[in-house]
Structure 1
């Protein structure tokens, strides 16, 4: 049996009433990843796919409200479509942070109910909120009242000793009644004690069938899924059961995978950008960032995996990793690394 709910004022609306009209099915997204999916990472990923939905790393509501907004929330127009993921458990603060995010230009506000890090546990948000679905619903309701863009939730199938059949249904029922436009589900439990964030991404077993059953229960609601998906073929298979798929580290470590997203997932007809043009765009972007006082390493660190598995990839990684941190480093380092990998490819072809 589930535990009694807290006495939050969750709106009484039917599923048909809250079915989103502005959140498309058959959606591919790059997952929010703390310390990774910053504005430079998102600009880089956008060079490979025009249609995938990109997410910020989790931004705590207090930081969005009180912090340096350009540094914390700023992004390039070229990143669209892009969504802001918020962390927190105070509906009032989350509503204010959502307003700020919408005013900044984000096209979706997502609430993190899946991160199991020590940081979120000390603040009793992230995956901790799986234990209090009514708090999540109250937060969704407050954000929906504050903004016109879609409000979504990203969660786990459960935490600790929870019965995932009960826990996930409780959360989904409450957030959809509160007006959530979509629910993204990481198809693993999170263990709040005993496992590190990395272990929580790998050790708890994946249960895709549990997410499929949730979709069957909510046929008129958007249910997306992530966790352990490594290829676009796997993503396409999951899309026969759910409305959206997210790839995280697989896309980050091998961004070339994103080149075929528009064609394979979204049925696009445009040819993908060439690697030459992507390198040129990233060099121009990097030089502009440096002119504004930034460093090459801020951008280059996200590009290390570009040639994952290709001949010369090790040399590419070496040059970027060592030279990007040197004083005065510019886009010339990226060009030099690219020339090195081209040289290896030419030698092998000869």
Structure 2
């Protein structure tokens, strides 16, 4: 059976990150990499179904392949939200079983659902029955005092039986008691070998590794070691050029490397359209601050955007001026 667009793209994906991977961030990332799978921030099923917040589903056609991540634990409500996501044009619906935040726990979704594999399986089954696009799960290896070696195989077996064919595993436990969401991203130790064993146990399940991956070199090593996909979070946000500019060639074997300077220039019409629609410059440029991380001129670029983008009347000309802080651009313009 031929792979669908989202599964083919899932060889490399950018993690769903609250307050970060909004539509403006995804548009930028797509300019840097044509093939990677992009995820929305988590959208709760109640917000869509009960709150009617359909604006949360808006995205640009250029973002494809793009997946909608849902949070929730009511199978019927999640199925309704999945239908809304499919109608909006998403390539995949993903269920969040990994977020450790307090507000997520209180709503009985996110990582706390690792303790309720039967309910997760019911949710997956209802969502699968409701839509034609792929339904996937993002989970942890366990929570609190659970023994991952015992609970993770059972969890995966339940969701596979419910029709899930692709899962992303954050290779850390989530400590719901005693650690903040921020601490949960770093303090629980990584267990890559356990995730590799899950691939041996479930050879037909498409498994992506997530957690602690900071470079394309590391991504290539994990793929070579048998992972079907790799999901990168903070590194893809803070150093997007390092992760995404070479990914089409190195991960997908297709196309040439992209250029962050050219990506900035391609962002200018998008910025203009956003401002014309009543938006503010900083809503977009906050995602562009790390574009030249580690390169000459990065500090000047970041400073100009940080100081100027929130000011009234700031527009594309500020971005063009900030770009002259990058030596290669300044030399070209001087010449």
Give the CA deviation at 1:159: 0.3
How far apart are the structure 1 equivalents of 2:223 and 2:10?
Answer: 6
Relative contact order, higher structure (CA 8 A, sep 6+): 1
Give the CA deviation at 1:26: 6.8
Give the equivalent residue in structure 2 for 1:278. 263
Give the equivalent residue in structure 2 for 1:260. 246
Whether 1:28 aligns to 2:8 is no
Count of residue correspondences: 329
Give the equivalent residue in structure 1 for 2:282. 297
How far apart are the structure 2 equivalents of 1:334 and 1:217?
Answer: 50
Q: Any idea what the Cα deviations from partners look like across 1:295-337, whole Å, max 9, x if unmatched?
A: 1011000000001011221111111111010001111111111
How far apart are the structure 2 equivalents of 1:227 and 1:287?
Answer: 36
Give the CA deviation at 1:224: 0.9
How far apart are the structure 2 equivalents of 1:311 and 1:345?
Answer: 11
Give the CA deviation at 1:66: 4.0
Give the equivalent residue in structure 2 for 1:329. 314
Give the secondary structure class of the aligned counterpart of 2:155: helix
Is the Cα–Cα contact under 8 Å of residues 312 and 345 in structure 1 kept in the other structure?
no
When the two chains are superposed, the root-mean-square deviation of aligned CA atoms in Å is 1.9
How far apart are the structure 2 equivalents of 1:171 and 1:192?
Answer: 18
Is the Cα–Cα contact under 8 Å of residues 26 and 266 in structure 1 kept in the other structure?
no
Give the equivalent residue in structure 2 for 1:14. none
How far apart are the structure 1 equivalents of 2:277 and 2:187?
Answer: 42
Match of 1:308 among 281, 288, 293: 293
Give the secondary structure class of the aligned counterpart of 1:24: helix
Is the Cα–Cα contact under 8 Å of residues 32 and 259 in structure 2 kept in the other structure?
no
Structure 1 unaligned spans of 5+: 1-18
Give the equivalent residue in structure 2 for 1:102. 86
Give the equivalent residue in structure 1 for 2:230. 245
How far apart are the structure 1 equivalents of 2:2 and 2:107?
Answer: 30
Give the equivalent residue in structure 1 for 2:206. 222
Give the equivalent residue in structure 1 for 2:33. 49
Give the CA deviation at 1:346: 4.7
Give the equivalent residue in structure 2 for 1:75. 59
Give the secondary structure class of the aligned counterpart of 1:188: strand
TM-score (norm 1): 0.90
Give the equivalent residue in structure 2 for 1:196. 180
Give the secondary structure class of the aligned counterpart of 2:182: helix
Write the mapping of 1:57-72 to structure 2, written as runs, cut at 5 A: 57-67=41-51, 69=53, 71-72=55-56
Give the secondary structure class of the aligned counterpart of 2:245: helix
TM-score (norm 2): 0.94
Is the Cα–Cα contact under 8 Å of residues 140 and 174 in structure 2 kept in the other structure?
yes
How far apart are the structure 1 equivalents of 2:151 and 2:197?
Answer: 13
Match of 2:160 among 176, 182, 195: 176
Is the Cα–Cα contact under 8 Å of residues 157 and 185 in structure 1 kept in the other structure?
yes
CA 264–21 in structure 1, closer or farther in 2 if over 3 Å, else same = closer
Give the CA deviation at 1:21: 5.1
Give the equivalent residue in structure 2 for 1:11. none
Give the CA deviation at 1:150: 0.4
